[in-house]
Structure 1
Amino acid sequence: MEPSCGGNSLHKGTGGRGLPFGSFPDLPCPWRLRPVVPRSRMLPLTIPSPPQGPPHPIVTLLPGHQWNSKVLLPRVWLGLDCGQMAGEENVKEELRSQDASSNLSQHEAAGHPHSWSLEMLLHRLRTDHTKQDDKFANLLDAVGEFGTFQRRLVALTFIPSIMSAFFMFAGYFVFTAQKPYCNTSWILAVGPNLSEAEQLNLTIPRGPNGNFLMCLMYLPVPWNLDSIIHFGLNDTDKCQDGWIYPDAKKRSLINEFDLVCDAETKKDTAHIMFMAGILIGSLIFGLITDKMGRYPAILLSLLGLIIFGFGTAFVNSFHLYLLFRFGISQSVVGYSISSISLATEWLVGEHRAHAIILEHCFFAVGAMLLTGIAYSLPHWRLLFLVGGALAVPLISYIWILPESPRWLMMKGKVKEAKQMLCYAASVNKKTIPSNLLDEVQLPRKKVTQASVLDFCKNRQLCKVILVMSCVWFTVSYTYFTLSLRMRELGVSVHFRHVVPSMMEVSARLCCIFLLQQIGRKWSLAVTLLQTIIWCLLLLFLPEGLKSMTILVLTLGEFSLAATVTVFFLYTAELLPTVLRATGLGLVFLASATGAILSLTIINQTPSFLPIFLCCVLAIVAFSLSFLLPETRDQPLFDSLDHSPQMRNKVKDMTPEDTSSDDMSSDDMSEEAAKNVVLNAQILRLFPYPVSKPA
């Protein structure tokens, strides 16, 4: 005879620590549930009224209790401890009998149209816990999840994204390929009627292939034209009076500042200077965005685009050009950091993902627009004049761009946060309930003291920033290596930008499907895996297959474009509001480092080594990406007290961990999420139908 546990109410004999709103069937001693936390640690929960019909299949009312009232749910149901009177064989036998009873009760519950399932209650619990973790999401729901205000905010990111791409890639179109020769106009003094071909034949030496050398000339001699033609010239030297560009159809930096021969490496110097600006600007604007706000950081970056973009058209030296490109790069990275932070904090759920994807699509559109304008304009200065003119209307953002209410709240500016939320609600023709507005309160800790040092102090944030920096370094290094490899194959600058940009739009739109189906973590892993495949193909492709190599390079850039989009969204959701922009700045720093390294390695090493490093780095980044937690359908966290990584530790929790009384109140939401899963696991062991207590 099986021993009795003494009653069918879970809270009987537990000191009042059980469920006050329901009773459970008789459970055998080997599987008695034992609450392990005091009443003060219970979670308030509203149980909705069941439909008219048979008793509730999970809980039943005790006398004196009513539906639709808040009840106390223990945060942890643990203690599957075997009784002294049941042995191991009895336990196995009971489990088999419970499985049979479980199947029978599930069949009966499925057959009844009004029965509530355990899964529905658990889903309700998870929803409540998520909203508890992110109370600000409730406010945004009341404001309008994706109303007119949010749609207008997303649209405001389109033009700056186009202009950011315009100025970022404009540096590639000002170095139009030229075929210069040394200026040998001295011979015209003795032979003014010489044609251009005759002048070159007499004054420029030829190489082994029969072509004129671009960096050498014959030294002038005090002879007449007949002597020069009869005896010829033998002594050569470097160009002394500059260069001429007989075949130049467009005016570029090369023929304006003579960036040829020994000065040819200055082209790469310009690209390195641009990346150095991203490196410095990522740190500066990351701090500015978190300390001063998203709104002033965006305005400052847009002002930089206008000033440095428009001013580049008037530089009179190459060094001044480098200085202006340095300023443009800081503005580009500053806008990227601040705009992503603003969109992340105003939007919720999949709307956030769609907004960032659309912003990146318009970035690719900007690259295509730049290609068309650069192809049609005959002078490099006109390119920057047009870009600066298109950027001038961005001044209007002073009056129409909002600040992030999340940032305002975390900085203690509660009044301004409420005003911003009320304004957004009025635009959406919504009304925010007063009780929700009352929840906007000062943070419990002085979050204004958060700094970049917190990434070293907080173990979870340190792990996130290191993994994301590694991924971003890999993506940047690989992207620029593939782009430079395409340049080495002789592909025109226009093709290198317009075709990949068109493919990038489709790649980023594909991210919508990926993110919805498999989440952020697996989307990042899939795109990195694609990159690994294309890099391995490049490594083993024969050098003679030029067309196939270009195709694989383009597909590699396609995968990297999707990786970048997923990466931005994923990083923004992993970082807290108080350090979101600073964290994005740190990963941009890694990006600039990877780009500079790619420019250095590809010019000084054998051709196979840069691609081999791409494969190795991509494999490392792919492996490290699995260390990150999933953020889909998870609330943003604002302060350093909460971390999304804690939500993934449910599987590792033990009764001793959860019964600790020294757990701080700041961990309540994470603890509640853990216990929902634990409750589900335990309740599934005992799916007996419950009858009303006598």
Structure 2
Amino acid sequence: MNNYTSTKGINQMVKGNHQHPFRHLYSQEAPVYPNSSSLEMLWYRWRTMKTMQEDKFAKILDALGEFGTFQRRLVALTFIPNILSAFFMFADHFMFTAQEPYCNTSWILAVGPNLSEAEQLHLTLPRDANNSYLTCLMYSPVTWDLDSIIQFGLNNTEVCQDGWIYPESKKRSLINEFDLVCGKEPNKEMVQTVFMAGILIGSVVFGYICDKLGRYPATLLSLLGLLVFGFGTAFVNSFHLYLFFRFGVSQAVVGYAISSVSLATEWLVGQHRAHAIILAHCYFAVGLLFLTGLAYSLPHWRLLLLVGGAPVFPLISYIWILPESPRWLVMKGKVKEAKQLLCYAAAVNKKTIPLNLLDKLQLPGKKVTKVSILDFYSNRHLRKVTLVMGCVWFTVSYSYFTLSLKMKDFGLGIYLGKMVPGIMEVPARLCCIFLLEHIGRKWSLTVTLLQGVLMCLLLLLLPQATGLKSMMVMVVVLGEFSLSASVSVFFLYTAELCPTVLRATGLGLVSLASAVGGISALTILLVSQSPSLLPVSLCCVSVILALLLCSQLPETQHQPLFDTMEQMCSQISFQRSMPQDFFSRTHSEDLTSEDSIYEDMSEEALQNTILNANIHKLDSDISPTMLLRSRGEDADRQAI
């Protein structure tokens, strides 16, 4: 009997007989009739129980241990890749340190080998009006002797012919490695745009691979990308090749984010799922701090990538120790492989899965259901999830980039400007645990976005005065604090809203908006006058729009994961049948003592209580006059 048949049966029993012939069957099991609000809660719990019963994985994961040794090991495997993802993602910020270049005029050393560096520059470089050496011009070489050069001086100038020197440079960066000066200066916004373009393409590619080939190969492929394009960046021999490798590493970063969240979501249940994803994101912040510390202490950009990227090599062992998602295996018809994997996980946890549970594990339907990216257009729920979460991800990305680039206006050093947000991100993500446990996914996302828009409004209202610089820096940091928390909630919430068959594809599609948001922030900052209130004003508008759209999404806390499109549509239809304010009340109000009576009821007891409550409610709604009138009408019909 499916959920709808069972629900329909209860309603028919309640509505179809005024004499209530079934009352005596349930009188012992439900002596207390709940009020209307409690009845809604009981109805919700009963429907959730029925859905959980259909979710065979919920019972199997409970049997093998919700968070045993196997699951803890799986979560630990995400730590190092997240550290490396942050390291490679933000490495650009330390690759373009400012340099003061001068033309290479070593030709004069042929006639004056004992000249000091200052004397060499004095004789061979022209000066500007401020008596500073010009960086892109030099005096033309001559065949005179040194005394003649000193006596008469040089007059003819030309552009640098033999490259540049950097006498005041303490660190080796891309600037002095590839002589990116005098018209060759790289545009940092352009470099970040290339990185965002990689995220744009990687989101679609890895989302498709993850759902088509599995979480395991998608994760390994992304780790291979970190090895080849991340660690391999240390060996590039041109700036254009550097950009190509950055394009590749950005795809690996987003690919790992999608595949790892999908894998953790499908192996873990309840609060353990939220804790694992948030903890993994905390290590992303650790990676940012790790990068800042290394960049400050190491003198060469290649050495930075070699030392910081070295931990990518132990990840080769993931080929043998990383598990596939059993949910994905079943959805692809590989039931035998899923059972073997679940039995292995149970053995690691020192548990035993009952054979009757494993025997019930089978593919829903007679054959594998074919799904595609077009389902996000044709299915109403998926279309709504894509549009709403895409808008949220665009808002978070745009606002975070805007606030991050706003830090430059306050004159903070590059190391301090990255260390402070990195430190703040760890408590920001840990605060999400409290929010998720007490107010659910939907309201947690709303609260973090609301705090972000408040910080943006404060940034607009505060006067641009030098005396308030410290306060404005604090406002920007708190804004980044809120947006970092939104990212963790966003990934968890999106993964739970999408079914297993299209979970990674959904994460990939909404991640497209992240790249668009980042590129938009960079573009607007380039075209707007500096300083300008336009970028921050657009932050406020986009966050308010995202807050309005979030109200259209259903809550997923305490709900089983959807594996198929049919399960998703069934549960969404049920949630639409509940009162509009039901889910907000369940998270904003504590359960009454009357509600707590039914909290630990079995499914059968809940069903009986709901039936008796509806019968009791029907009795109270039928007045004696109405009952006599009904009986009179029945007698008239019988007489006719």
| TM-score above 0.5 | yes
Preserved CA contact (<8 Å) 1:472 1:590: yes
Map 1:349-498; keep pairs closer than 5 Å: 349-444=270-365, 447-498=368-419
Amino acid at match of 1:546: K
Aligned in 2, Cα 1:260/1:490: closer, same or farther, shift over 3 Å?
farther
The 3 A distance-change label for structure 1 pair 324 and 15 is closer
Contact 1:414 1:440 in 2 (8 A): yes
Contact 2:23 2:612 in 1 (8 A): no
Which whole-Å deviations, capped at 9, do the CAs of 1:334-363 have from their partners, x for residues lacking one? 111100000000111111000000000011
| Worse-superposed segment, 632-641 or 286-295 | 632-641
Relative to structure 1, the CA distance from residue 684 to residue 506 in structure 2 (aligned partners, 3 Å threshold; closer, same or farther) is farther
Q: Does 1:252 align with 2:173?
A: yes
Deviation at 1:683, TM superposition (A): 6.2
Counterpart amino acid of residue 612 in structure 1: S
1:121–1:165: structure 2 CA closer, same or farther, 3 Å change rule?
closer
How far did residue 204 of structure 1 move? 3.6
Match of 2:557 among 602, 611, 632: 632
Q: CA deviation at 1:121?
A: 5.8
Counterpart CA distance in 2 for 1:286 and 1:463 is 18
Identify the residue that residue 515 of structure 2 maps to in structure 1: 592
Match of 2:548 in 1: 623
**Mapped partners of 2:609, 2:173: distance in 1:** 64
CA distance in 2, matches of 1:225, 1:549: 57
The aligned counterpart of 1:611 is 536
The AA in structure 2 aligned to 1:176 is T
**Partner SS, residue 435 of structure 1:** helix
Give the superposition deviation at 1:208. 5.1
Query: Are the structure 2 counterparts of residues 404 and 221 from structure 1 closer, same or farther at C-alpha, using a change threshold of 3 Å?
Result: same
Gaps of 5+ in 1: 1-9, 25-46, 60-101, 107-116, 654-671, 689-694
Partner of 1:555: 478
What runs of 5+ residues in structure 2 fail to find an aligned partner?
1-10, 581-603, 621-640
* Residues 255-264 or 234-243, more deviating: 234-243
Q: Compute the displacement of 1:439 (Å).
A: 2.1
Change (3 A) 1:548 1:377: same
Distance in 2 separating the partners of 1:502 and 1:13? 59
Q: 1:436 to 1:605 in 2, by over 3 A?
A: same
Which residue of 2 is the match for residue 658 of structure 1?
A: none
Distance 1:649 1:120, change over 3 A: closer
Larger Rg: 1
Counterpart of 2:583?
A: none
Output one character per residue of 1:200-243: Cα deviation in whole Å (capped at 9) or x when no partner: 34444445555434334445566665666566656655433321
Note the C-alpha offset of 1:199. 3.4
In structure 2, what is the Cα distance between the partners aligned to 1:404 and 1:532?
Answer: 37
8 A contact 2:231–2:310 mirrored in 1:
yes
Equivalent pair of 2:266/2:325 in contact (CA under 8 Å): yes
Is 2:73 the partner of 1:146?
no
| CA-CA distance at 1:15 after TM superposition | 6.5
1:327 aligned onto 2:252: no
3-state DSSP class of the match of 1:258? coil
> Separation in 2 of the partners of 1:587 and 1:677?
42
Q: Is 1:571 matched with 2:546?
A: no
Distance in 2 of aligned mates of 1:448 and 1:175: 50
Between stretches 627-636 and 442-451, larger displacement belongs to 442-451
Change (3 A) 1:13 1:650: closer
User: TM-score w.r.t. structure 1 length?
Assistant: 0.76
Aligned partner of 1:262 among 159, 183, 188: 183
Query: For residues 371 and 522 of structure 1, what CA distance do their matches in structure 2 show?
Result: 34
Matched ranges for 1:186-201 at <5 A: 186-189=107-110, 191-201=112-122
Q: Which moved more, 1:348-357 or 1:148-157?
A: 148-157
Report if aligned partners of 2:39, 2:610 keep a CA contact under 8 Å in 1. no
Are residue 56 (structure 1) and residue 3 (structure 2) matched? no
TM-score of the two chains, using structure 2 as the length reference? 0.82
Residue identity matched to 1:22: R
CA shift, 1:394, in A, is 0.8
Q: Does residue 505 of structure 2 align to residue 582 of structure 1?
A: yes
* CA contact 1:142–1:432 (8 Å) conserved in 2: yes
Going from structure 1 to structure 2, the CA distance change for 1:597 and 1:220 (only over 3 Å counts) comes to: farther
1:501 aligns with 2:422: yes
CA distance in 2: counterparts of 1:652 and 1:123, whole angstroms: 11
SS at match of 2:162: coil
Counterpart-to-counterpart distance in 2, 1:536 and 1:445 = 55
Alpha-carbon distance, 1:573 to partner: 0.6
CA distance in 2, matches of 1:296, 1:415: 19
- Take 1:215 and 1:281, find their aligned partners in 2: how far apart are those partners? 40
Aligned AA (1:549): M
Does the aligned pair in 1 maintain the 2:33–2:609 contact within 8 Å?
A: no
Q: Which residue of 2 aligns with 1:525?
A: 446
Identical columns (%): 66
Q: 2:600 maps to which residue?
A: none
More displaced 10-residue stretch of structure 1: 225-234 or 263-272? 225-234
Structure 1 equivalent of residue 632 of structure 2: none
User: Which is richer in helix?
Assistant: 2
> Partner residue of 2:573?
646
Shift of 1:605: 1.9
